[in-house]
Structure 1
């Protein structure tokens, strides 16, 4: 069952993961939404992160979950950006991808079953 996650990036310019190899590159709402959507639809970000780990074989394969139908919309509001992600990916996987992309500079504001 799909879940809709309401996310906020209070300071979009600071919403970057600690490792530039995995962090958001886009600046605007649409670009950030596209990058998150791609990270949910494909396991490419997960595979790059996994390969960079000391023991890639020890990484929980469940963190590589994908949802080819995932969708993310982004909206700019004054100085912050809101993202709405609709996906079947478990919350812990979504959070792990967001930490790679945005570090700790995001907030989960609501979760709704669709």
Structure 2
């Protein structure tokens, strides 16, 4: 049985979709660039390790936030005046939420989630 989920996200204003900390924030401008950056953030630990190193006690950070999914897939496209992001991963929502917030702050909305 697969634990993979398909997350349907939207971003109303991609031009302002940047996390609060420039050391972690996505710096791109296109939907394709965002999808590639998000996919990389879920497949590897680089973004997590940068965030962890910034914490007052890096060794006390919840190890569960370091989880990765080498098979994560992300795509994004313009839809009307927003960007729709399709994400397929077996990572739990709390990990996905953390990575999204580090990259693009509160600019995203979860529209739906289904088993993949």
Deviation by residue 1:17-55 (Cα, 9 ceiling, x = unmatched): 100111111111100000000000001100010001111
In structure 1, what is the equivalent of residue 59 of structure 2? 57
Selected match of 1:37 from 36, 39, 54: 39
In structure 1, what is the equivalent of residue 96 of structure 2? 94
List structure 1 runs of 4+ shifted beyond 6 angstroms: none
Q: How far has the Cα of 1:88 moved from its partner?
A: 0.4
Quote the RMSD (CA, aligned, Å). 0.7
Using the size of structure 1 for normalisation, the TM-score is: 0.97
Q: How far has the Cα of 1:70 moved from its partner?
A: 0.3
Q: How far has the Cα of 1:80 moved from its partner?
A: 1.3
User: Any gaps of 5 or more consecutive residues in structure 2?
Assistant: none
Residues in 1 aligned to 2:27 and 2:6: alpha-carbon distance in whole angstroms: 24
User: Any gaps of 5 or more consecutive residues in structure 1?
Assistant: none
Q: How far has the Cα of 1:78 moved from its partner?
A: 3.4
Using the size of structure 2 for normalisation, the TM-score is: 0.95
Residues in 1 aligned to 2:57 and 2:102: alpha-carbon distance in whole angstroms: 18
